Amino acid sequence: MKARAYVNFALIKYWGKKDEERRLPHQSSLSFTVDKLYTDTLILFDDNLKEDNILINGNINLEAEKRVVNYLNILREELNVKSYVHFSSTNNVPTAAGLASSASSFASIALAFSKEAGLDLSKEELSRLARLGSGSASRSIYSNFAIWKTGNDKTSVAKPLKIDWPEFRIIVLMIDTNKKRASSTNAMEISVKNEELYSNWVKESKLDLELMIKAINQKDIDLVGKIAEKNSNHMHDLIESTKITYKTKDSLKAIKRIEALREKGISAYYTMDAGPNIKIITTTKYVDDILKEFDDIETLVCKSGDEAHIIK
């Protein structure tokens, strides 16, 4: 079975787990799924295999392979499957550059594997399974905006935020597509240990989420942008308190240019994840002005991507 899932970018970030094994977050998060970045995963059960046969982007990649095999073991246990698999996954995302390839990867694996097992799981069941591979993958089951709630192993799933806002856009600035320096899993673990700063992050991000839901419902791009920017900066301050930084000189230069665009009345706001690339939050009205400003950097203008689905 072959499945496609799209990358999502968080406007309210997930950062830190209360349960490493079950990947349960300390706080809820909210994201937007994008159309230009996705992963296709093909999974075929084969009872003659003695181990999983893994190809990632057509190559052998031992580090990524280990994580995939661990996840396939979890799926076999969860769905009561005995077979090893032929596995081939292709990203149209520069892998591990903080462009959230783990979200689209694990969501596509969860869907392909469960369908290959003959199961027709609900979106929430799929979201839970995807979460067991990578937290942010729980949100890539859906198109448009999704909220992933904190909770227990059963209740911590993502659900769609029902809002029709076709003008909403995220523009990715491809600052650097090389491999990121610290994995989000490790960086998160270190952040959680910093108890005082971490508990403040959890408290603030809860408030940010409530305000963000209201702002999205009002389709107020300036309010959405401001809250997302504040939330992203808070997460990066927390990360930087652990001596890890994902921001490069080029990221900081691009941020200055986004702030300058705002001075000219253009609604452009930024958010960053576990890598140097920048995502600009905006609406269709401002896209041309933003592209004109960033004509020296590769950009991807994204609208909502589809929900995760099977490809024939």
The residues of the shown chain that bind ligand PMV, judged by CB under 6 A, are: 10, 13-14, 29, 100, 102, 134-136, 184-185, 273-274
* CA–CA separation, 196 and 193 (whole Å): 9
CB of 290 to ligand PMV, least distance (A): 22
CB of 49 to ligand PMV, least distance (A): 29
Residue type, 68: V
CB of 29 to ligand PMV, least distance (A): 5
CB of 146 to ligand PMV, least distance (A): 11
158 forms beta bridges with: 148
Answer for the pair 183, 136: CB distance below 8 angstroms, yes or no.
no
CB of 155 to ligand PMV, least distance (A): 18
Q: Are strands 84-91 and 53-56 parallel, antiparallel or unpaired?
A: parallel
CB of 14 to ligand PMV, least distance (A): 4
Cα-based distances in Å from 209 to 31, 220, 238: 11, 15, 18
* CA–CA separation, 156 and 149 (whole Å): 5
DSSP letters, 218-261, are: TT-HHHHHHHHHHHHHHHHHHHHTTT-----HHHHHHHHHHHHH
Residue 266 has a CB neighbour count (10 Å cut-off) of: 18
Mapped onto helix, strand or coil, the DSSP state of residue 100 is coil
25 forms beta bridges with: 17
Among residues 10 and 111, whose Cβ is nearest to ligand PMV?
Answer: 10
Among residues 69 and 119, whose Cβ is nearest to ligand PMV?
Answer: 69
Among residues 29 and 95, whose Cβ is nearest to ligand PMV?
Answer: 29
Answer for the pair 134, 165: CB distance below 8 angstroms, yes or no.
no
Among residues 184 and 282, whose Cβ is nearest to ligand PMV?
Answer: 184
Among residues 134 and 293, whose Cβ is nearest to ligand PMV?
Answer: 134
CB of 280 to ligand PMV, least distance (A): 16
Among residues 5 and 266, whose Cβ is nearest to ligand PMV?
Answer: 5
Among residues 187 and 266, whose Cβ is nearest to ligand PMV?
Answer: 187
Take residue 293 and report the two structure tokens written for it: 């400003």
